[in-house]
Structure 1
Amino acid sequence: MPEAPAEASQKLPVTCWFAGLTTLDVIHRSAVRPGPNQKITAVRQDVSAGGPAANAAVTAATLGARALLISALGTGSVGSAARGDLERHGVEIHDTAEGREIPLAVSAVLVDDATGDRSVVSPDATLTDGLDVSSADLDALPRPDVVLLDGHHPDLARSVLAYANALEPRPLIVLDAGRWRPVFADLMGAADVTARSADFRAPADVARSPATVATHGAAPVTWCDDDGRRGATDVPTVDVRDTLGAGDAFHGALVVALAQGADLEAAVAEAVRVASLRVQYVGPRSWLENLSCA
C-alpha cells in the first residue's frame, strides 16, 4: 500500500473521503416481526441518515478525522433531513446533486428488540443512477489521506477512483464490499484494501486488491496485508442490542486508523473495537457519545 503521510503517524487530524450512498433510514424497533397482512406497534422509532459511505463518515468524524462525504442528496425534503443529521455529526458534504431535487432512497429498517438483528428494505442508489462528479469539483476539496468507495453510484465511484489514482501523493483506496455489484470488477484491482463481508463473492476472473479484510459476524475478523502476512482478530463477546450500521462503523474506524498510519493488523483491531461498541447501544446515533479515539 502507499505510505501514509508523515504527519499521519503522529495522529494529527487526517482527511478521509467517503464516496457512495446516502439514504434516509426510518428505523422501527419491535418485539415481534409482522406476519403477512399484519400491523404491529413499534417500541421505538428513529430517523437518521444511512448508507454505507454516510454512516462510515459519521464514525470517522466522531473519531476526530475530517470526514468528507461525496454523495447525492439533493434539495428535497428527504435529502434535507439526511443532510441535517450528517452535519450535526460533523460530516462535510459534497453533494453531486446540489441544486436539484432527486428521489433520495428511504430505507425501511426493522430491528428485533430481543436480538438486535436488523432487516432492511431499500432502493439503495437505483433511484438516482448515473450521478457523477468532475475532476474540477474534486480539485476544490481538501486532499484525502484515504478514500473509501462503497460501490453505490457506479459512475461516481469510477470518477473518484480515477481522480485519487492521479493524485501525488496517492491516497490509500479502501473498498467497502458488502454485496457484489458489477462495478466492483473495475474497483477491486485498483483498491489497496478490500473490506468484505463473509457473504461477498467475486467472480474468479476479477482482479483482487493487495490487502483484504473479511468480517464473519461474531467470529474473528480475518485479514491479509499487501506483504502476504495473514492473521485473525478476535471479536469480543458483548451484549448485542442493535446491529444496524455495525459494518459501516467498522469501515469508518478502519479508514481513520489507516489514515493515521496504522498497519492493517492494528487498523483491524481498532475497527473491531469500534464496531463492538456500536452494537451495544440501541439506536443509530446514541452510541457515538461513548466513542473516543482512546
Structure 2
Amino acid sequence: MHVVCVGLATVDLVQRVERLPGVDAKAEALAADVAAGGPATNAAITAAALGATVTLVTAVGAHPLAGLIHADAAAYGVTVLDATPLARTPPPVSAVTVLDATGERTIVSRNAAGAEVPVPPGLAGVLAGADVVLADGHHPRLARAAAACGRPLLLDAGSWRPVFADLLPAADVVVCSAAFRPPGPAPVREALRAAGVRRGAVTHGPAPVRWWSGDESGELTVPPVAAVDTAGAGDVFHGALAVALGRGDELVPALRYAVGVAGVRVRHAGPRAWLRALPGAPPAVA
C-alpha cells in the first residue's frame, strides 16, 4: 500500500515541564526532544510505522535545519519529495510545551505562513501511484495538486484555511478537529455537507468522534486512556486513518482503528517513543 502525505514539515522542539511559565518567567524542562513535525509529516511517519510505503510531499530546503527533517523521515522509512530543495531559508520551527501532569500541550509555530511552494517535478507520477492521498492544506499549490490527482483524498482539517474551499469538493473523507470553523453560520457538519463532503468526522480529543457517511451518522466512543502526551495525537490519528482507508476499510472501522492508534500515542511521552509500542512496528531509530 502506498500512502502519499502532502503538507507541512517543521522542526519541533518539544519540552516537558511541571508548569507553564507566566509572562517574563522561566521554567526548567524535565525533558526535551527535537524531531520533525507538522501534520502531514507526523501522519507520514505514523503510516510508515504501520507498514505502508509512504511518500511525504512537502517543502524542506537546504538550510542546516532541513537535514534534521530529512534524517528523521528517512529513519522511519518515509521518502521525501521536496518541492524546494535549494531553498536556503530555515524550515518552520515549532515550540511545543507539554505539561507533565496532564499531557496537554501548547504550540507556537509560524507553520508555512507566507511561503510560496511550487509543484515539484515528478509529483503527478507519485500521486498517480497512491492508494490514498492525505493533505493538510498547509501548502496550497501542493494541496490543490493532490485534490486534482483523482486518487482517494483524505483531508486533515485542523483549522480553516482558504484553500479548503477548493479541496472539500474533491475529498473522499474529511476529518476535522473541534476547532475547525468554515465561514458562515452553519454548523460544521452541515457546512461540509453543503460543500459536497459525503463522508467525514469531527474529533473532540477524548470525547466521542462524530461521523457521517451519506445519510448515516453516529458517534464513536474514544476509550479512556491515561494520557501523558497529546502532542501530535491528531496527526497520528490521520496517519492511521489513511492506512485503514488505503487498505479498503469502511469509514467507521477505519475511524475505530485510528482511535486505537492515537490512544497508543498519547500514553507515551515524547514524539517517537510511542512507535515502539505498536504491535509489529519496526523499532524506532534514535
Q: TM-score, normalised by structure 1?
A: 0.89
Provide, for residues 128-181 of structure 1, a one-character-per-residue CA deviation record: whole Å limited to 9, x for no partner.
x1102156443256700100110101111112222x12xxxxx21010000011
TM-score by length of 2: 0.91
The equivalent residue for 2:38 is: 51
Q: Is the 8 A contact 2:127 2:146 kept in 1?
A: no
1:1-150 → structure 2 map (5 Å cutoff):
14-127=1-114, 129-134=115-120, 136-139=122-125, 143-150=129-136
Give the Å deviation of 1:231: 2.1
Report the Cα offset of residue 222 of structure 1.
1.3
Q: Which amino acid in 1 is paired with 2:119?
A: V
Identity score, percent: 45
Distance 2:97 2:10 in 1: 15
Gapped regions of structure 2 (runs ≥ 5): 185-190, 282-286
The C-alpha deviation readout for 1:262-289, integer Å capped at 9, x for no partner, is 0001100000000011000000000000
Distance 1:69 1:39, change over 3 A: same
Q: 1:203 aligns with which of 174, 183, 187?
A: 183
User: In structure 2, the residue corresponding to 1:111 is in which secondary structure?
Assistant: strand
Deviations 1:86-130 (A, max 9, x none): 110111110111133232111011100111000000000015x11
1: distance between equivalents of 2:181 and 2:126?
A: 36
Equivalent of residue 223 in structure 1, options 211, 215, 224: 211
Match of 2:202 in 1: 214
Equivalent pairs counted in the alignment come to 273
Single out whichever of 204-213 and 149-158 deviates more from structure 2: 204-213
Question: Over the residues paired in the alignment, what is the CA RMSD in angstroms?
Answer: 1.6
Deviating above 3 A after TM superposition, structure 1's stretches of 4 or more consecutive aligned residues are 134-137
Pairs within 5 Å for 1:113-192: 113-127=100-114, 129-134=115-120, 136-139=122-125, 143-162=129-148, 164-165=149-150, 171-192=151-172
Q: Distance in 2 between matches of 1:279 and 1:85?
A: 20
Alpha-carbon contact 1:29-1:44 (below 8 Å) kept: yes
Aligned residue in 2 for 1:194: 174
The unaligned stretches of length 5 or more in structure 1 are 1-13, 166-170
Give the corresponding residue for 1:287.
274
Q: How does 1:261-272 map to 2 (within 5 A)?
A: 261-272=248-259
